[in-house]
Amino acid sequence: MTRPLALAYHGVASVSPRRDPHGLFVSPAALRRQIRWLRRHGYRLVTFAELAARSAAGSGSGYAALTFDDGFADNLHGLLPVLEELGAPATVFVVSGWLGGEHPEMPGARMLDAGELRRLHAARVEIGGHTATHPDLTTLEFADAREELARGRSELEALLDAPVTSLAYPYGRATADTVRAAAAAGFLAACLTSGNGAPDRALEVPREDMTNGATLLGLRLKAAGRYEPLMRHRPVRAAYRAKQLLLGARP
């Protein structure tokens, strides 16, 4: 049986790797291929909240969640059409303080505004928290981390008039104090990145990173839990960096 799987994306748009140094975008066509691959290989797609609950209860095998961090405007205009076409659920984790602005690491990339966020929520996309200002929570004292998390959650709930109980930790990092702060701020489920975490702990669910140019072979390795261990080998990391440099050199 396939293991529980959460995939971490950001934006959905056709952006060349040369213009995407942080690998934040996946094209709609690539996303369609990845969703179809998951279904062909026995996965049932659910929201992150459902995946976390099932995994914590020991019944997450065969389930996968598509998650999208930060709150890019293309999550409405590029992602939602793919989800509706394929009948797939997803979760978008939103930085409340970035709404209506520009992504700090991708000049020109617009974030959802309040109206667009409501439209995404009305389309039954799960909206989760991603803090108010996107700090590295592992560098904050417990009280400050709790305040940052609670503020982001309350701002989203006020806009949506609905509960927000799922969370993605900024930069995919969390300490034991960060996890306690998330619970104190009212979150019921939370996730990290890069395969870190434990699927049976609802506030420490691991995710696999899906970056610009991710292949179906890479997805297969991530689904099997083999990608991150493989990337710890120096020759593999060197080959990956060489590939990224090659892609970035293309027009």
Residue whose entry in the numeric block shows the structure tokens 């691991």: 206
The pLDDT assigned to 1 comes to 63
229-234-235 Cα angle (round to 5): 105
pLDDT at residue 251 above 70?
no
How far is residue 103 from each of residues 119, 188, 230, measured CA to CA in Å?
A: 20, 27, 31
**For 179-222, what is each residue's pLDDT tens digit?**
999 999 999 999 999 999 999 999 999 999 999 999 999 999 99
Whether the predicted pLDDT of 70 surpasses 90? yes
* pLDDT exceeds cutoff 80 at 240: no
Residue 120, pLDDT score: 98
Decide: residue 45, CB within 10 A, 0-12 exposed, 13-18 middle, 19+ buried: buried
| For the chain, percent of residues with pLDDT exceeding 70 | 91
* Tens digits of residue pLDDT in 152-166: 999 999 999 999 999
Q: What is the dihedral of CA 94, 98, 102, 105, to 10 degrees?
A: -70
User: Taking the model in full, what pTM does it have?
Assistant: 0.92
pLDDT, one tens digit per residue, over 128-177 is 999 999 999 999 999 999 999 999 999 999 999 999 999 999 999 999 99
Taking 60 as the threshold, does the pLDDT of residue 44 lie above it?
Answer: yes
| pLDDT of the residue at 2 | 85
Using CA atoms, how far apart are residues 119 and 219, in angstroms rounded to an integer?
A: 30
Say if residue 96's pLDDT is above 80.
yes
**pLDDT on residue 241:** 52
According to CATH, the superfamily of the domain at 5-249 is Glycoside hydrolase/deacetylase (3.20.20.370)
Question: pLDDT class for 249, splitting at 50, 70, 90?
Answer: very low
Question: What is the residue extent of each domain of the chain?
Answer: 5-249
E strand spans, the chain: 5-9, 11-12, 25-26, 44-45, 63-70, 91-94, 126-129, 166-168, 189-191, 208-209
* CA–CA dist 94, 98 (Å, integer): 8
Give, to the nearest 10 degrees, the angle between helix 176-184 and helix 142-160.
40
Residues 75, 11 contacting (CB under 8 angstroms): yes
